[in-house]
Amino acid sequence: MLRNCINCIFENKISDARKTFPAVLRALKSKAARLALCTELGQHVVGNKAMLEHQQFDLVVRLMNCALQVVSIYSALIVFVFSDMCVCVCVFCGKYAACDILGLGQACC
């Protein structure tokens, strides 16, 4: 379901992605789903840029935000998930703008 939702987002099938979006958000409570999210987003990164339209970007950011909110501070996966998410945000949003959004400055890029 996660893979299908992400594929719909990147194929700009926003209405199809929105149908499964609530279930995907619920699934992100599991560690396996959060890791799968990083993997799936990483597969859509081509080169150093991935241009997204506003609705696509909104859905991708909501997925990443949900995954990061669920990760507990004591989880061993937090560093791995956060670093992968940061790389994806930097690519999807623009190298320096994304890091500024996250409040990390240019250190993450």
Write out pLDDT tens, residues 41-95. 888 776 655 677 888 888 988 988 888 777 665 455 555 555 566 556 555 555 4
Distance CA 104, CA 108 (A): 6
User: Residue 70 is encoded by which pair of tokens?
Assistant: 């669920």
Helices (H) and strands (E) in the chain, counts: 6, 0
- Count of CB atoms situated within 10 Å of the CB of 81: 20
Residue 47 region by backbone torsions, left for phi larger than 0, else alpha for psi between -120 and 50, else beta: left
20-33: pLDDT as tens digits: 999 999 998 888 88
Residue 27 carries which side chain, given as an amino acid letter? A
